[in-house]
A and B are shown apart, each in its own frame.
Chain A
């Protein structure tokens, strides 16, 4: 992908594309990581691809939680009462 005009996917980009999540999750061997980092230095499309995927994961993590509705709390309390 280093040439932007004729954008054929090259094998290195495709190989990296398959491993982006494992790379983000630090689940790859050290030498594979090094190879990936070397490629990222030279390949802006892959770099952007990684960044947008990373942001996608960050957004999921940032969604947080909603409070328990009072109706549910009431149901759970009455369930606990019955267990006594």
Chain B
């Protein structure tokens, strides 16, 4: 293919989003704008790190290492995905590396059978309060902590999918791309992760 045709093609496949102009300006030499990337993404990345590791200090390291990698490799970014997806791909691989070194739960595969209600009759009772009342009434600080704990109990490969899909708001296709998984695999893991949390919430309310 001729160079010109090639560059037209890649231009056509470029993903344009709210960060494109910013990234282009940086790659054209305006390095002061790195600060703007930090401003846009420090909070989302910090919270992503926190949900993945549960430790403030580790989350802080993840943010810093992610930005360092972004600044190092940004000139090679070709707009083949949204910048945000590329950013989370970097953050994800840093999380995984970090967790390998830590004491956390080993990877574990769930099967759907693990979550099939053992007593369907119990499910037939009235809808439990935590699912029936308005969400603001239900989400207390205590529940928040319980949920945070339950998310950290998820094996990492499930937690990553849950956090990216249900907390960071990535689509199935984007999550698949960030994690190098098939969309079908993302769906399976997400469903099992949600079922795991549902069981934890049921247990929590049962104890009360």
Contact = CB atoms under 8 A, between A and B. Distances in A.
Interface of A: 1, 4-5, 7, 9, 13-14, 17-18, 20-22, 25, 27, 44-46, 48-49, 51-63, 65-69, 71-73, 75-76, 79-80, 83-84
Contacts of B125: 48
B46 A9 contact: no
A63 B194 contact: no
B121 A7 contact: yes
Contact of A62 (B131, B139, B195): B139
B194 A53 contact: yes
Interface in B112-170: 112, 115-117, 119-121, 123-125, 127-128, 130-132, 135, 138-139, 143-144, 147-148, 151, 162, 166-167
B178 interface: no
Interface SS, B side: helix
Given A52-B202, A66-B47, A72-B60, A79 B68 contact: yes
Contacts, number: 131
Interface residues of B, number: 54
Given A21-B187, A44-B124, A52-B198, A63 B167 contact: yes
A17 to B, nearest CB: 6
Contact of B116 (A17, A51, A68): A17
A45 B190 CA distance: 22
Interface in B175-208: 187, 190-191, 194-195, 197-198, 201-202
